[in-house]
Amino acid sequence: MHDRVLQNYRGGIIPIHIPSVAEVELLDLLGVGGFGTVWKVRNPATGKLHVLKIIQAIKPDTVLVERVRLEAEVSIPSKHIVPVIGLREWDASTFLILFELFEARSLDKVLAEETLKPEQKRHIFDQILIGVADAHRSNIIHRDLKPENILVAKDNYVKLIDFGLSKFKGKGLTLTGEVMGTPPYMSPELLIYGSKIADARVDIYALGHILYELAMGYTFWAKQGWIANRFDNFVKFLGQSPQPTECIDLSDFRCDFYQNASAVLARMVKTNADDRFASVEEVIMSLTSEPSRKTIPPLPEVEESIGISFNYPLLTVESGTNRDARTLVALEPGESIVLGRADIAGNDLSISSKHLIFTRQHGRYFVNDFRSKNGTLLRGMLLSADAPPMEVQNNDRIKVGDIFLRFNSPV
Question: In DSSP terms, which residues pair with 49 in a beta bridge?
Answer: 42
Instruction: Tell me which DSSP letter residue 245 carries.
Output: S
Collapsing DSSP states into helix, strand and coil, what is residue 16? strand
- Of 126, 144, 203, 369, the catalytic one is 144
Query: How far apart are alpha carbons 315 and 309 in whole angstroms?
Result: 13
Query: How far apart are alpha carbons 35 and 21 in whole angstroms?
Result: 24
Does 386 qualify as catalytic in the annotation?
A: no
Query: How far apart are alpha carbons 232 and 52 in whole angstroms?
Result: 36
Positions annotated as catalytic residues are 144
